Amino acid sequence: MKDSKWTWRSVSLISIAATIILIVGFVSAVGDILNPQGEALSTALPQETAVPTAAAGDSMRILALGDSLAKGTGDNDGSGFVKRTLDGLSADGGSAELLGNMGINGLTTAGLQTKLKEEGVRYALRQANIILVSIGGNDLFRGSEILGNATEGQGAATPGPSPSAAAENQDAASSVHATGTIDGKNSALVTSTPKPGEDELTPESLLAALPDAAKRLGEILQTISEINPQAQIFYVGLYNPFGDIKDLLVPGNQAVTAWNNAAMDIINTHSNMTLVPTFDLFNRHLDKYLSGDHFHPNGDGYQRISERIIQAVR
Amino acid sequence: MTNLLPLIRNECTKIIKKKRFYVILLILLVLVPMFTYAQMRIAERSRDKFNSDWRLEVQQQITDNQNSLGSDRIPEEWKSYRRIFVQQLQFYLDHDVNPNEPSGVTFTREFLDNSVSLFIPLLIMAVASDLVSGERTTGTIKMLLTRPVKRWKVLFSKLVALLMFVSLIVLSVFVISYLISGLAFGYKGFSIPVFTGFQLSGDTVDMTTVHSVPQWKYLLMQGGLIWFVSVVVAVLAFMVSVLVRSTAASIVVMMAALIAGTILTNMAAAWTTAKYLFMVNLGLTGYLAGTPAPIEGMTLSFSMAVLGVWGIAAIIISFAVFTKRDILN
């Protein structure tokens, strides 16, 4: 009987105490959610504290940045050129590690510029000593579409990378693929899903976006090298994915060459940058090295790109 | 009034003697180590991949989510969830706060966030579902009701005893998960800041009201919300146990309702009237964490009102039925 008295007392005391605490928590939670008091949060960004690691040792810390090529879209095992480069570099005993792959499908030069303002991306860039950049394909092969997006992004000036824009780009990409593969002759005239404000892929549109996009590329590379002056930047040049469409072969080649030349001009003025050409890897071998979407490389294609990058890194 | 206290004490002793509460503790002691171990493996893996640099990890998480936004095959609701998630991660990153700082306290917080809508209600049911129906199954209800005590007093004492054990269960979930996960992740982490106050409107997150709260206070608020949910679930299970003759049936009814709730929250976005069901509204802690509600138009006050109405209705029905009905068999 004494035992049961003792348990009753402890149970009742603990449960009453617990109930009071929980009610206090409940009241404060309701108050907090219904009337949230915004406070001036100190944006304590991880400033320059992180920089010194860049000088340590000769291990390679790789960071990939850019569009779907950096991400590895089209590669069946998802490796892309980034993982393949990493494997190649660490195959013969070299120490290479991947800090992260910031590749986003459908990213354009304008989108990458916004991303480079994010502290998380800047932080990751500061940690790396090898930075692989792939950008520009989405600007060039979707010329008019992207001009609209770029101005939109600048007008809104949101800190976020506007994922919706990326999603739109993806839509646009698929419709471009559709037009590109339906029929060589009609591709310039017929769009499977016509959208307001979207122009078709024509020889003119390929070249139209070039000057602005090239300027943004220069700014991007400049920004990266300012964020991390110690790192080696490898820019992956463009190839012409529409070489198998008769109408687009010549203008495509011209546009891609013009772009690669523009990139070369920028890169030549910086000692810590290298252009990795890919145009010749794919030219006249599109069926072998492009994936099913006729736009992205397949596994073998990525393998060839990564071999080039490895040669450039060493 | 004088004879209520002994009645409550009697009911508490019955709950203790039935060892239901020990079963609950045992369940926690078995399950929490499993979750802790799983969480530990995840932490280890990401440490290997990202060299324990959480900023790179979070940035990669943001990038991965942004990539999945591009896919046309992902349903729009998931996309808006991910957009919100990305913006919150970005906020943590911009303010240099690790959202997943491994510690026993963080584990407790996340574990409770995940268990509020199913796991904890199940534990509550273990006690609540046989309070009345158990007496009828064993036949002791006749002994109870032939005493010179008013029926509503009998039922009221049972309800009070139940609410006492609800608090004990919520408390012991917190304590056990903290103590066990602390073995793996360390017992520190009460002062880590957690952001709360994300105002969701559609796809975008309004950051103006976001403020940081030390983790201990967050746990306290979370505990309060979980307690409210548990009380409502307890009262509902109590009502079912009054209405149904056998304990097994009473457990099955409540369990079916709860599981239906978790299924509905995953697919109810199209059927908006489902938001008036209590089981869809159990995830109150989501409002604290800033995760989007399962159905458009649900807010904390809405969910609390729905739960409150269900709870009060359950109490009224329980008392009305219990005081009126004939006890046969």
Question: Looking at beta carbons, which residues of chain B come within 8 Å of A34?
Answer: 300-301
The maximal CA–CA distance of chain A, rounded, in angstroms, is 98
Question: Looking at beta carbons, which residues of chain A come within 8 Å of B217?
Answer: 28
Looking at residues B235-253, what average pLDDT do you find? 91
Q: For A194-243, how does the pLDDT look when each residue is reduced to its tens digit (9 = 90+)?
A: 343 444 566 666 777 788 888 888 889 989 988 888 888 999 988 888 87
B213 touches chain A (CB under 8 A): yes
CA distances from A83 to A75, A86, A132, A200, B177 (A): 11, 5, 11, 34, 39
Residue B139 distance to chain A (closest CA, Å)? 24
Q: Is the pLDDT of residue A88 over 90?
A: no
Residue A258 vs residue A160, higher pLDDT:
A258
Q: Is the pLDDT of residue B274 over 60?
A: yes
B60, B96, B208 ranked by CB distance to A100: nearest? B60
B114 touches chain A (CB under 8 A): no
The pTM for the full model equals 0.76
Residue A109 distance to chain B (closest CA, Å)? 16
Looking at residues A272-277, what average pLDDT do you find? 89
pLDDT for A190 equals 35
Residue A170 distance to chain B (closest CA, Å)? 6
pLDDT for B266 equals 76
Q: Are A177 and A242 in contact (CB under 8 A)?
A: no
Least confident of B160-174, B214-228, B277-291: B277-291
Element (H, E) at B308: helix B300-324
State phi, psi for B296 to the nearest 5 degrees: -55, 135
Top mean-pLDDT range of A81-90, A296-305, B173-182: B173-182
pLDDT for B1 equals 53
Across the interface, whether the CB atoms of B50 and A37 are under 8 A apart is answered no
Looking at residues A16-26, what average pLDDT do you find? 93
pLDDT for A49 equals 45
The maximal CA–CA distance of chain B, rounded, in angstroms, is 71
Across the interface, whether the CB atoms of A159 and B90 are under 8 A apart is answered yes
CB-based contacts of B110: which residues, under 8 Å, 6+ apart? none
Looking at residues B238-264, what average pLDDT do you find? 90
Across the interface, whether the CB atoms of B63 and A124 are under 8 A apart is answered no
Q: Is the pLDDT of residue A121 over 70?
A: yes
State phi, psi for A276 to the nearest 5 degrees: -105, 110
pLDDT for B63 equals 85
Q: Are B190 and B215 in contact (CB under 8 A)?
A: yes
Least confident of A36-40, B5-9, B235-239: A36-40
pLDDT for A42 equals 54
B72, B94, B228 ranked by CB distance to A26: nearest? B228
Looking at residues B311-329, what average pLDDT do you find? 87
Q: Are A129 and A54 in contact (CB under 8 A)?
A: yes
Residue B234 distance to chain A (closest CA, Å)? 14
Question: Looking at beta carbons, which residues of chain B come within 8 Å of A171?
Answer: 72
Can you read off the two tokens belonging to residue A88? 């190649």
Across the interface, whether the CB atoms of A25 and B171 are under 8 A apart is answered no
A vs B, Cβ pairs < 8 A, gives: 184
| CA B49 – CA B240 distance, rounded (Å) | 50
Nearest to A275, CA basis, from A266, A286, A283: A266
